[in-house]
Structure 1
Amino acid sequence: MKKRNLLITTALVGTMTIGGIAPTTLAHDALGSDVNKGERFVFDQDAIEQLSFSLTGSKNVSNFKEAAAVQISLKDGVQNNTADVYAHKGFAYLGTHTANGGNGGVRVFDLKNPSNPVEVAVFADEIPNTWQEKVIVKSVNTPHFKGDLAAVSVQQTSRNNVNRPNSKGGVLLYDVTDPTDPKKLGFYELDRRITGTHELYLTTQGNRALVLTSSPYADYYTHGEQEDFQIIDVTDPTNPEKMWGWDPRELEEIPEDFNGYHWHAPDGKTRPVFNHSVITDNNAQYAYVSMWDLGTVIFDIKDPENPVFLGRTDYRDDQKGAAHSAALARGGTILIETREVSNPVGVGYESAYGYTRIFDIKDKTNPILLSEFTTDLTYQEPFINTFAKTVHDPKVHGNTLYLSYYSGGVVMVDITNPSNPVQIGQYTPEDADVWGVFVDRNYILASDMGQGLKVLTRGQGQGNGNGNGR
């Protein structure tokens, strides 16, 4: 079999630091109907074996090697594509997107040998005409459940379609204490008028387990009956219950006539406002909600039945907000905000694809912008999709920020000085379409929409995806 060509250098890559209508202003999540993003680029394992990659870097990322690249298996004769990636106790969990009709479920890979990941299970694929982008796995101990709990986002591929009466969105909950044998526990079902839950976060407070959900345009589609941001009590995962929901109209700066996230902002622009993503700090004291052009909204959730709005990030008049995802650094005192801007045009806006902003949030009522990070990326052409040049998801490990960048792959950034972020590495598979990145002590995982799971390991030899080292 033809081997991949390798390009590994330790050169420092270039860096740069720089001190609409809602239902049609869509992010990559495709809030519309029947989207098959990435379907053109679906590879089998033999094709992946013949691809090359480049990995450049310095400092603490220079000794990472690509240990494996493995496609997810066919399901019912269909090749799905991947979405986000998460790892827990030596297993990788890959969500799936919409190619070939969706319903790819969550794929579980055993990473015991990182150079030879083995797919051992598929779950959360039982609801017709849906896709499962996000999965979070945590060890929980509640009066009702003790073990490893997986929360999975579920979205309809075609919202409220009368020809698909069994399709519905929400949150699936699974017992993955044995990752090779996941067991369904419960389902938090949303109104069919809502596409579903796009991103979510699973966390614990003492012996209580919570899921925080992002359901874009929920308020709009249900005429205020449900909210984009909800906190769900999953202490008993067989019986998830809503605790609280939030409507942006509760903010003084949002007028009462705010209609379906058509925000007539103070800068004179009509900006989209919807909940795209949410995370918490490690102790689940605060929630960080990515509300697109409203910025990253910060809540005190110590009492999850009565959260308190604290503050939010804002933008220059010429910036598209597009707050897509967030990560924390320095014990929760630094906020990383990624902005997904795939179309850098528009009257009154700067001509720039999405880039990253870093804030000091020691005072969470007053986030202070420290820096804005963009980069001259090395891209693999032709571009896979229109989101090729925008940043996507952030993860932080120590003083290194890892950014998924679609056709740019994964970019590593030194944030030792958050006022002066410096690019120190880039991993770019051939025909890259990297959706998600996850950082563990022993490896970096990347989910490539068309190619599946990528594994980078520290100080180990490269494999070819089948465990054959060089």
Structure 2
Amino acid sequence: MKKKNLLITTALVGTMTFGGVAPTLAHDALGSDINKGERIVFSNEDLQKLASSKLDGTKNVGNFTEAAAVQISELNGVQNNSADVYAHKGYAYLGTHTANGANGGIRVFDLKDPTNPVEVAVFANEIPNTWQEKVIVKTVNTPHFKGDLAAVSVQQTSRNNTNRPNSKGGVLLYDVTDPTNPTKLGFYELDRRITGTHELYLTTQGNQALVLASSPYADYYTNGEQEDFQIIDVSDPTNPNKLWGWDPRELEEIPESFNGYHWYAPDGHTRPVFNHSVITDNNAQYAYVSMWDLGTVIFDIKDPENPKYVGRTDYRDDQKGAAHSAALARGGNILIETREVSNPHGARYESAYGYTRIFNIKDKSNPVLLSEFTTDLTYDFSNPVNTFAKTVHDPKVRGNTLYLSYYSGGVVMVDITDPSNPTQIGQYTPNEADVWGVFVDRNYILASDMGQGLKVLTRGNRTNNGQGR
């Protein structure tokens, strides 16, 4: 860290603890150590800036301080916990996780005054026994819908439970042109044998709106009837329909060594493979699918009805894969891959919690590893944990600054001006931090803390003596 007024120095944050609320497993693991997660989303303006920015990363995080910390409201006397966070046109959208029975829905906060976010709406909580982790909001213009569209992931808390016949997973679609009055448009429903859609991405190609959906183990649970990765046409949000689907056993290099969702890899490890998350680039030309120990799989989706496999990232023999989420930098030529490893002590694997890898993907058929970014948490075994407290979670990029949500580590800022030499330049860590998501908007940084709700970081105007809460 370089400056006393950089987003943080030790004196400006609350004490980091590992004894806060432990993140909850999001889906069943089939014998592996897997969790939940998120994706990256920017407006066209943001991504254009990302591609052309020449700023040194330190300039992008200077003088940020905590301006607000707001818990989500109780629903019917129940306190839910927060999941991912997204922002659109001056409003923050918080997903919710599974605490206290789930069904917390998506919370909408008016950020007109970032020092005083006001919760103005709740939506997408109408399907019983489900949770709504992920929400993406985009302005779309199709022959069937013009306005701001929200796509929400829906997952069952108990898959295919006969005692819960009305529970089902998939993608809910809402009109949020008026964020204070969301209106349901449609639902892309998955087979009840599938937990549901874990993460998703909403994008556009011309006048067509598309949802890219991650539904872990869909192929496994439905005996091949549905797929882990699906592209859904939501141009008419009242009538979403699947254009294409793919599951990992379709790769030529692995079918004979694939059993259920365990890959008997050439390095001798039995590696879990499933679709955890997906993002796309600014123009929806390529999809980046986080396939856990198969790496980040890249598809050409210029024709969304006929995508083509391009390439994927790989791992050392002693490295757990756990490709959890991705982000792009330098106009799509740099790939950030975060790996969520909760328990680093597997046989014949390195002793390390999950950390970040950075690739040159100018040639997308051959990703080249440039660097690996670790923090003080990565090798901290002074107080070993089997939860996700010390692993990286989600990445976001603005210009040459990488922002990482890091559970008990809060939000970590990294200068990637030289992607082969990433350098930590800041960190925001509230007391008892359990930071799930981070989102960089035009004038502020948003963080979602599972136990504490929405955090807003702004430039200057320090509040609470700069302390995390």
TM-score by structure 1 length? 0.87
- Change beyond 3 A, Cα 1:71–1:22: closer
- Matches of 1:377 and 1:63 in 2, distance apart? 24
Moved more, 382-391 or 451-460: 382-391
The structural deviation recorded for 1:409 is 0.2
The one-letter amino acid paired with 2:36 is D
1:413 aligns with 2:420: no
The structural deviation recorded for 1:61 is 1.7
Correspondent of 1:24 among 9, 13, 31: 31
- Matches of 2:439 and 2:7 in 1, distance apart? 22
Which SS does the other structure have where 2:402 is aligned?
strand
- Matches of 1:124 and 1:376 in 2, distance apart? 38
Query: Is the CA contact 1:384–1:431 (under 8 Å) kept in the aligned structure 2?
Result: no
Which SS does the other structure have where 2:316 is aligned?
coil
Q: Give the equivalent residue in structure 2 for 1:179.
A: 179
The one-letter amino acid paired with 1:74 is E
- Matches of 1:343 and 1:382 in 2, distance apart? 12
The structural deviation recorded for 1:262 is 1.3
Q: Which runs of 4+ in 1 moved over 4 A?
A: 7-13, 381-385
User: Within 5 Å, which residues of 2 pair with 1:221-300?
Assistant: 221-256=221-256, 258-300=258-300
- Matches of 1:347 and 1:154 in 2, distance apart? 34
Which SS does the other structure have where 2:397 is aligned?
strand
Q: Give the equivalent residue in structure 2 for 1:35.
A: none
The structural deviation recorded for 1:282 is 0.6
Q: Give the equivalent residue in structure 1 for 2:387.
A: 386
The one-letter amino acid paired with 2:95 is G
- Matches of 1:11 and 1:365 in 2, distance apart? 39
Q: Give the equivalent residue in structure 1 for 2:305.
A: 305
Q: Give the equivalent residue in structure 2 for 1:328.
A: 328
- Matches of 2:88 and 2:261 in 1, distance apart? 36
The structural deviation recorded for 1:304 is 0.2
The structural deviation recorded for 1:224 is 1.1
Q: Give the equivalent residue in structure 2 for 1:458.
A: 459
Query: Is the CA contact 1:216–1:275 (under 8 Å) kept in the aligned structure 2?
Result: yes
Q: Give the equivalent residue in structure 2 for 1:49.
A: none
- Matches of 1:175 and 1:263 in 2, distance apart? 41
Q: Give the equivalent residue in structure 2 for 1:214.
A: 214
The structural deviation recorded for 1:27 is 2.0
- Matches of 2:66 and 2:343 in 1, distance apart? 31
Query: Is the CA contact 1:111–1:117 (under 8 Å) kept in the aligned structure 2?
Result: yes
The one-letter amino acid paired with 1:412 is M
Query: Is the CA contact 1:190–1:196 (under 8 Å) kept in the aligned structure 2?
Result: yes
- Matches of 2:257 and 2:419 in 1, distance apart? 39
TM-score by structure 2 length? 0.87
The one-letter amino acid paired with 1:177 is T
- Matches of 1:125 and 1:182 in 2, distance apart? 12
1:96 aligns with 2:96: yes
Q: Count matched residues.
A: 425
The structural deviation recorded for 1:373 is 0.3
Q: Give the equivalent residue in structure 2 for 1:468.
A: none
Which SS does the other structure have where 1:318 is aligned?
coil
Which SS does the other structure have where 1:23 is aligned?
coil
- Change beyond 3 A, Cα 1:67–1:463: farther
The one-letter amino acid paired with 2:182 is P
Which SS does the other structure have where 1:224 is aligned?
coil
Q: Give the equivalent residue in structure 2 for 1:188.
A: 188
Query: Is the CA contact 2:134–2:199 (under 8 Å) kept in the aligned structure 1?
Result: yes
Q: Which runs of 5+ in 1 are unaligned?
A: 1-6, 14-20, 31-56, 466-470
The one-letter amino acid paired with 1:273 is V
The one-letter amino acid paired with 2:410 is G
The structural deviation recorded for 1:60 is 3.4
Q: Give the equivalent residue in structure 1 for 2:116.
A: 116
1:242-262 deviation digits (Å, cap 9, x = unpaired): 000002122111124622211
Query: Is the CA contact 1:64–1:458 (under 8 Å) kept in the aligned structure 2?
Result: yes
Which SS does the other structure have where 1:60 is aligned?
helix
- Change beyond 3 A, Cα 1:384–1:156: farther
